[in-house]
Amino acid sequence: MYSVIIPVFRNADFVPALLSEFSAIARAVQKHHGMPTEFVFVVDASPDNSYALLSEALPNAPYRSQLILHARNFGSFAAIRTGLHAAKGDYFGVIAADLQEPPELLIRFLERLADDSHDIVIGVRNAREDPATTRLSANIFWALYRRFVMPDIPKGGVDLFGCNRTVRNELLKLDEAGSSLVGLVFWLGFRRGEVGYTRRERAHGKSAWTFRKKLNYLLDSVFAFTDLPIRLLTFGGLLGVAAALSIGLVATVMRVVGEIDVPGYTATVIVISFFGALNTLGIGLVGTYAWRAYENTKRRPHATIQSGRSFEGTPSLSQTSPKAATGRS
């Protein structure tokens, strides 16, 4: 079975088109690969009526599905992890609910995975139909990500991927708090392939992927995958030592030749201010790493689930009659 995980947050306007697109995907997978498709929707405490719309529509959908509701908003990466935990397939695909990534990519992922030529397949953006400002900010973000975090990341960034059960299991073993799921996917290794596509223009509303979330994501990735802040601090410390030695040497020479009768107040203030700021920066960086290490010792779950439902699908794609089961955890 092929399991597709869809994190949902403020995507109510996309639900009708999403369900229609997935019906075509399920038919194509059944026809060409002879396996059923399961769609796992993880609603990340969305403030709109996404959950209600999916609850009403999925019992009559022509494919197997699960509907999971987070107890609060934990973020898209936590939603993907929840979906991967719940999914029952042998192959897995991840796609956003805003349909800016073509759902046909899910079929191309499965083709690579089912013939055992790849363990993981990444969707690579070759172009964007987004507004110019969105393209610019995205290009800057992913350029910084490639430069400082993960050089292997494609230039256009990564939002969706497919993998086999082995990769899924290994990914879920990496139970890190405050990390980057995309970074972990690339860190794992395995046989990795790429599928290019053009990102569609957004049809409804505004993306929830705000500047603040991008900045937090970049910082999470930096602190989780590189010692760059520590290296920058060390380099700054060396520059500070060199500057202090230079100032001291100049002050000593001027004192010897009689140019300075009283120790210089200005030089003292400069040196104290510089090293005071450098010391504060160092404490902040080291404290950030210590806090993240402490967070991982708590072993808290990445998300808590308020409710979960499963649906077998209508007879058009499933041999079983519609059935739903509910439960809480």
Q: Is the pLDDT of residue 270 over 70?
A: no
Q: Alpha carbon of 185 to those of 182, 221, 267, 296: distances in Å?
A: 5, 12, 51, 19
What pLDDT score was predicted for residue 41? 94
Cα 288 to Cα 285: distance, rounded to the nearest angstrom: 5
- Longest Cα–Cα distance of the chain, Å, equals 99
pLDDT score of 267 more than 80: no
User: Residue 306: is its pLDDT beyond 90?
Assistant: no
Note the pLDDT of residue 296. Answer: 59
| Mean pLDDT score, 72-96 | 88
pLDDT at 311 over 50: yes
Cβ(251)–Cβ(259) below 8 Å: no
Instruction: Return the sign of the alpha-carbon dihedral for residues 290, 294, 296, 297.
Output: positive
Evaluate whether 11 touches 97 at the Cβ level (below 8 Å). Answer: yes
Please give the average per-residue pLDDT across 240-244, as a whole number: 67
Q: How far apart are CA 284 and CA 287, in angstroms?
A: 5
Among candidate residues 152, 122, 153, the one with its CA nearest the CA of residue 138: 153
- High-pLDDT (> 70) share of the chain, %: 60
* SS3 of residue 240 by DSSP: helix
Do β-strands 120-128 and 192-199 pair in parallel, antiparallel, or remain unpaired? Answer: parallel
Q: What CATH number was assigned to the domain covering residues 2-210+301-327?
A: 3.90.550.10
Q: Which amino acid is at 203?
A: A
Rounded Cα distance, 153 and 157, in Å: 6
